Amino acid sequence: MMRRIPVFFYLLGWCGLVAAQSDLISDRLTQAEATTGQLIFNQCAVCHTASPDQTHRIGPNLWDIVGRPIAHAEGFDYSPALAALTGNWDFDTLDVFLTDPMAYAPGTRMVFPGIKDGWQRAHLMAYLRTLSASPVPLPATSGTEVTVTPADDPFGADWPIGPGRELTGYVCNACHSLALVKQQGLPRTRWDKLLDWMVEEQGMDEPGPEQREL
């Protein structure tokens, strides 16, 4: 017989356990962590900004995205595929869209394969909800009991363990195959020079001192 237990899980559960996935985003959001979602957002930050004073990039600024009408970020030129959609970016809609953007809006210029894991999407939405001066309320839950099951390591067992593991994984994986990153085998001094080159020559955002150290 299963008993109700508190759920405390690390990033996407790679350290051991996560809550069993519910089909309803409302249930997943009760266990979602905005801090984990902020790490996941690093793969989104390549194309999107998240502060109210920032301009659009390849994709629109995502401040106040949760609850906003679809394709209504002022000053952004949306693809006809997204501009033709109606409704708001509520949690249910975001959950479907983030699973496979190109299937949800065929013809969209958002060339992103989607986030297949429901918990990753829930964490990300928990973070996106914080991008507002007045975050929208969380949806009502179904009351489904949450159980605990093993989870896979999202980066692979050969991704080095240590400080900055998750941040580095998400930042690098936004543009690169982690398999290629793992093969480099560079010492810290070479990585530091490589980061300088990526910022100066490739247009990567300058990492903060703490991020660079990690």
Are 104 and 118 in contact, with CB atoms under 8 Å apart? no
**pTM reported for the whole predicted model:** 0.67
Q: Would you say residue 124 has pLDDT above 70?
A: yes
Q: Would you say residue 97 has pLDDT above 90?
A: yes
Residues 28 and 107 in one domain: yes
Q: How many domains does the chain have?
A: 2
Specify if 155 maps to a domain. no
- Which residue pairs from 104-109 have beta carbons closer than 8 angstroms and sit at least 24 positions apart in sequence? 105/79, 105/81, 106/81, 107/79, 107/80, 107/81, 108/79, 108/81, 108/82, 109/79, 109/81
- What is the C-alpha separation between 154 and 123, in angstroms, rounded? 14
Specify if 158 maps to a domain. no
Q: Which of 150, 168, 198 is the last residue of a domain?
A: 150
Residues 142 and 193 in one domain: no
Enclosing H/E stretch for 196: helix 188-202
Residues 186 and 129 in one domain: no
Specify if 103 maps to a domain. yes
- What is the C-alpha separation between 152 and 71, in angstroms, rounded? 35
Residues 91 and 185 in one domain: no
Residues 77 and 113 in one domain: yes
For 125-135, what is each residue's pLDDT tens digit?
999 999 999 99
Residues 138 and 182 in one domain: no
How many H helices and E strands in the chain?
A: 10, 2
Phi first, then psi, for residue 150 (nearest 5°) are -65, 155
For 136-168, what is each residue's pLDDT tens digit?
999 988 877 655 344 566 666 666 666 666 666
95 is written with which tokens? Answer: 């959950």
CATH of the domain at 118: 1.10.760.10
Residues 109 and 209 in one domain: no
Residues 186 and 113 in one domain: no
Specify if 168 maps to a domain. no
Residues 67 and 114 in one domain: yes
72 is written with which tokens? Answer: 């209504």
Specify if 194 maps to a domain. yes
Percent pLDDT > 90 in the chain is 42
Angle at 121 (CA atoms; ends 161, 144), nearest 5 degrees: 105
pLDDT for 14 = 43
The secondary structure of residue 138, as a DSSP letter, is P
Residues 97 and 182 in one domain: no
Specify if 23 maps to a domain. yes
- Domain of residue 117 covers 11-150
- Cα-based distances in Å from 134 to 31, 62, 66, 69, 130: 21, 14, 10, 16, 8
Place of tokens 């941040």: 167
Q: Which residues contact residue 3 at a Cβ distance below 8 angstroms, ignoring those fewer than 6 apart?
A: none
User: Residue 19: helix, strand or coil by DSSP?
Assistant: strand
Residues 110 and 205 in one domain: no
pLDDT for 113 = 87
Residues 91 and 182 in one domain: no
